[in-house]
Structure formats: structure tokens, C-alpha cells
Chains A and B, each alone.
Chain A
Amino acid sequence: MVWLAAAVLAVLATDALHTRLPPSGGASRQMGFVPDPDLAKVLSLGFGAVLADFYWLQAIQAAGGDVRITPELGDHLGRLIDLVTTLNPRVDHPYRFAAIWMTASEQNVRTANRLLARGIEYHPDEWRNYFYLGFNHFFYLLENDRAAEWLDRASRLPGAPRYLPRLAARLKSESAEIEVAAVFLQEMLNTSQDDVAKEGYRAALDEIEVEQSARLLDGARARFQDRNGRDLRTVEELVAGESAVLRTLPAAEPLALPSALRRGSTWVLDPVSDRIVSTYYGKRYRLHVGESDRQRAEGWAEERRIRERVQGMEGSRGETRHEPSNHDR
């Protein structure tokens, strides 16, 4: 009886102590230690595949839920996916997972591109890796020529959508950027298995849809100016009275929006930018997913130019130190 009481007491005491411990552990979203891939490969003693699975699950834990995509998270995911794909380069989805999540800095995107290139090496017939690489060059790095090259290669692979050659051609002509983005995003939406990423693509597609309507209104506004010799006072003038240039105004909200989320948004002239905007978004669309946008991409490009200029100056001074460029992908 005494033993039983002692056992119950010990269990209760242990449980009480346990509840005082912080709940987060090794598998939490904290950016923990990631071993060197080459060393881990050597020390895996033939168990590389299962070790790769372990770190893949860590990557999912790190990126899952409502987590904010930051350059630090991108770096961490980059290290994890580099480790996963070094331990088992035959994995398939992790390469594209990197492309989806590593978008918060130019370095993130370049690393993701390097990982995608590794994926292409091991899965030369998987068109999606080429497609994602093309998307990164187009969307985040503003490198349309390189994007077109990758799309061109993707289009020759089995299972690739038929529109890819057309998309590549449009990229080369550097026109209709927003339409190209819509096609890219629709394909990413169709092929992605990541629910959070899918939500992001849907949101961007909705915004593009409203932007396309806004561009239609821009055209109508120009015609209105030509016809009446003055600018609009309100957007409604486009459809009202004798000076109307349109029969109806397009929807100011995404068509796919559930009725419960509809706000009865309208088109207005933004007093700051003097542009026609939907009250749903309050601003005009710029090519972006999440926090990355053209401005950021241009910022990255500027940083790169400065870095290259500095490196060039150092090189001309005869310094022997040479860092390999990470812009080759």
C-alpha cells in the first residue's frame, strides 16, 4: 500500500514538473541547428534517405501555419532543403517547396534556384522544376530572358502544358507582363500541393483580375479625355450621361469572392496617385506575391550592381580573393 502511494505521488510530482517545462521542443518552428550537408551525408552511414525525411519534416514544421516569410526563415529553409537534397537528391517535392517559400530576399531566391537546378539534375524530365525556375527569374529577379529559356526547356518535356512555348515567347517580347504573371500563377495554383502557398496564388490571381479591370478603365478614361477635353471627376462618369464611354463598370471585387466576403466595393479616383482604384484593394496591383514586388526586385538588382561594381574595383586593385558569383542560375 505504501509502495502504491509512493508510486502515485511520484507520478503526480513528475507530471507537475513536466507541465512547468516549456512546450516547444526540437521539432518546433525555432530555427535550430542544421548540420553541414556533406558531413551529414558521410556520417549518415547509409541512412541518408531516412535522415533526409527527418529534416524534410523539420522544414515543413518551420514553414507551416501562419508563419511570416522572412529572409531569415528563407535562409533556414534553404539550409534544411540543401541538407535534405544532399542526403537524398532523388526527393522530388522539396525542390519546389524551396521555390515556394524562399522568396523574401534575392539571396533566398538565388539559393532556391540553385536547389531547383539540383532538382533538374536528378529529375531531368520533371517540367515543373524548370517552370518554377522560370517563374523565379521572371517574378522575383526580373530576368525575363532567362525565364524564357527555362520555360522553353520545360515546354519540351513530357506533361508540360501546351501554352508554355507561347508564354516563353511573350516573356521574350517583354510585353503583357501581368497576363504572363496570371498564367504563371494559375499553373502554380494547379500544380502546388501546399495549401498556404495555394492561398497566396489565389489571392494574387484575384488581384490581377481586378487590375485587368482597372486597366480597362484606364483605357476608357483616356477615351473620355479625348472625347470631352477634360479628365474624369468621378469614375461613374465613364458610364453616365451623354459623355459615357462604357455601358457598365466592371466588378471592383474578384468574381470568385464568396458572397459573405463581398463588401460592395466600387471604383474611385485615388486622390494621392490620381489613378482609378478599387475600394476593395485601395491601390493598384503591382506584380507581386506576398511581400516581394517589383520595387523589391529592382532594389535587389541595384544592390547587385553595387556589389559587382565594388568587386570589380577590388579586382582591378589586383586582389587575389575571389568569391564565386551566385547569379549564375
Chain B
Amino acid sequence: MLNSGSRIWPIATNTVREAVRHRLLYTLLFFAVTMIGFSVLIASLSYVEGERIIQDVGLASIRLFSVGIAIFVGIGLIHGEVERRTIYTILAKPVTRSEFLLGKFLGLLLTVWLQLCLMAIAFVAVSVLVGAGLDLGYVAAMLLVGVELMVIVAVATLFSSFTTPMLAAFFTLGIYALGHLSRDLYSLGQASDVPAVKQAATLLYRALPDLESFNLSTQAVHGVAISGAEVGWASLYGVAYSIALLILASFIFHRRDLE
């Protein structure tokens, strides 16, 4: 296990180095920070609840651009290595395909968490500047954005392990949308009189990532109490879902013909 860790870590750090050279990362980060700053202008159009609007827009920008970075940087993870043929050099060493995949996943996750921290700093700075309140609820919300990003990176890793970047982006975006719709799909299914539809809706709800469980932005902005259990269970769920996805990705990647 220790040996495995020592093999995964260099791949992860290398992936971070590679990702931070990605121009797209900076472009999206720039837009995110600009949007957070721009929220002050947007809020000035309202004569009430301006601080709430600033924080709504700020948190939405963080979530939107973080997911954008996770997807569009993540989809090329494996494909780039195969195209540059560097994957053969790595796999020629005593590194298993699972370790390679895990290293790539961790590297990208660290990158998106790093940019999440930068966006959070911008968010806090703007909130402090306009005198908007900040409490532990925001920490909880931000923490769960991080967990949601972990799940999205795992989804991107899964798709990039067997398909082209274009298709991987398409599939990951689809899973992201369905992940936010899964609760509504479930409710719709349960309202049906047809048992098969109910079962299918339940199955979909169980299989798709329940991404709404990581969305505490509104509660944080409105000062609604967020329990530690809520954050804890959602985090555990996110970790478990990501592990399941990585096992599946590893299984597929082991069988993939890289020639």
C-alpha cells in the first residue's frame, strides 16, 4: 500500500504541474474571479438584499467555473498521455494501470481544489468588502462544492479512461445535468401509476450521483442552520461514489487496448 502510494504521488504531482500549464484553467479562473467581482455591479441593480445577491452570484460562479475546469481539463487526462505516448514510458515502470489512473485522478482533484481555494479567497474578499456576513455555513457549502468536484473529476476520469475527449466532455456534462435532476426524476417516477416507471426512476436515482446533496449554497446565504451530520453524510456519500467510479474506471482501463 505504501509502495503504491509512492508510485501514485509522483503521477499526481506531475498531473498538477501539467494541469497548471493548461491555458483553459486560467481562462476559466479569470472568468470566475471576474464574475465574483462583477456580482457587486449586478447587486447594485436591486434596492434590497444586495449582499445576498452578491453571495448568490459568487457561489454560483464558483460552482459553475469549478465544474467547467474539472470537466474540460479532466477529459484530456488519459488521451493526452496516449497521444504523446508518455503513457508507455510510465506503464513500462512498475506502475499498474490502476495506480496510473488514481494518480491522474488525484492530480486533477488537487488542481481543481487549488483553484477552488483561489475562488473562495476572491469570494471572501468581495464579501468582506461589501460587509456581507460570513459564517461556518459558507465553509460547509464550500466543503461540499469540493466534494461535488471530486465526484465530477471521478466521472471525467471514468469517461476519459475509454473514450475520446470530446465524448468524455459530452458524457460528463450529461452526468452533471442528470446528477442535479436525479431528485426530480425520482419524484416524477414515484408520481407515476406504472410500477415499471417507478422502479426505473428509483434505479436511476440510485445509480446517478445525487449532486443536489452537495448544494448548500442557498442555505449558507440565507443563514439556514446546516447540521454537521448533513455535511458528514454528504461527504461520505461523495467519497464512496467517487471510489466506486474509480474502481469501474480502473476495471475498464485494465482491459483497454492502448496500442
Interfacial residues of chain B within 47-90, with CB under 8 A of chain A in the complex:
47-49, 52-53, 56-57, 59-60, 63-64
Q: Are A92 and B181 touching (Cβ within 8 A)?
A: no
In the complex, the answer to whether B49 meets A93 with C-beta atoms within 8 Å is: yes
Pick out which of these stretches binds chain B: A53-61, A242-250, A284-292.
A53-61
Given contacts A53-B57, A90-B218, A90-B224, contact A46 B63 (CB under 8 A): yes
Chain A stretch 158-214: residues in CB contact (< 8 A) with chain B: 193-195
In contact, B60 and A45 (Cβ under 8 angstroms): no
Contacts of B53 in A (CB 8 A): 53, 56
B57 touches A50 (CB 8 A): yes
Least CB separation from B49: chain A residue: A93
The answer on a CB contact under 8 Å between A88 and B218 is yes
B218 lies within 8 A of A47 (CB): no
| Chain B CB within 10 A, most for which of A42, A50, A56, A193 | A50
Task: Verify if B15 is at the interface (C-beta below 8 Å from A).
Answer: no
Least Cβ distance of A109 to chain B in Å? 22
Complex-state Cα separation, A47 to B184, whole angstroms: 14
CA–CA, A46 and B63, complex, Å: 10
| Chain A hits for B63, CB < 8 A | 46-47
Q: Chain A: interface secondary structure?
A: helix
Residues of chain A contacted by B52 (CB below 8 angstroms)? 91
The B-contacting residues of A in range 40-76, CB under 8 angstroms, are: 42, 45-50, 52-53, 56-57, 60-61
Within 8 A of A (CB), among B178-218: 180-181, 184, 211-212, 215, 217-218
CB atoms of A93 and B48 under 8 A apart: yes
Q: Which residues from 14 to 66 on chain B have a C-beta closer than 8 Å to any C-beta of chain A?
A: 42, 45-49, 52-53, 56-57, 59-60, 63-64
> Which A4-27 residues have a C-beta within 8 angstroms of B?
none
* Residues of B contacting A195 in the complex (Cβ-Cβ under 8 angstroms): 47
In the complex, the answer to whether A45 meets B56 with C-beta atoms within 8 Å is no
A49–B56 touching, CB < 8 Å: yes
Contact B56–A46 (Cβ < 8 Å): no
Task: Report which of B42, B57, B180, B224 forms a contact with A46, defined as CB distance below 8 A.
Answer: B180
Query: CA of A88 to CA of B64 in the docked complex: distance in angstroms?
Result: 18
Chain B residues, Cβ within 8 Å of A93: 48-49
Binding site for B on A (CB under 8 A): 42, 45-50, 52-53, 56-57, 60-61, 88, 90-93, 193-195
Q: Beyond the given A45-B181, A46-B211, could you list 18 further A-B residue pairs with CB under 8 A, ordered by the A residue number?
A: A42-B181, A45-B176, A45-B180, A46-B180, A47-B60, A48-B218, A49-B56, A49-B218, A52-B56, A53-B42, A56-B46, A56-B53, A57-B42, A61-B45, A88-B56, A92-B49, A193-B48, A195-B47
Q: List 24 A-B contacts (CB under 8 A).
A: A42-B181, A45-B177, A45-B180, A45-B181, A46-B180, A46-B211, A47-B63, A47-B64, A48-B218, A49-B59, A50-B57, A52-B56, A53-B46, A53-B53, A53-B57, A57-B42, A57-B46, A61-B45, A88-B56, A90-B218, A90-B222, A91-B49, A93-B48, A194-B47
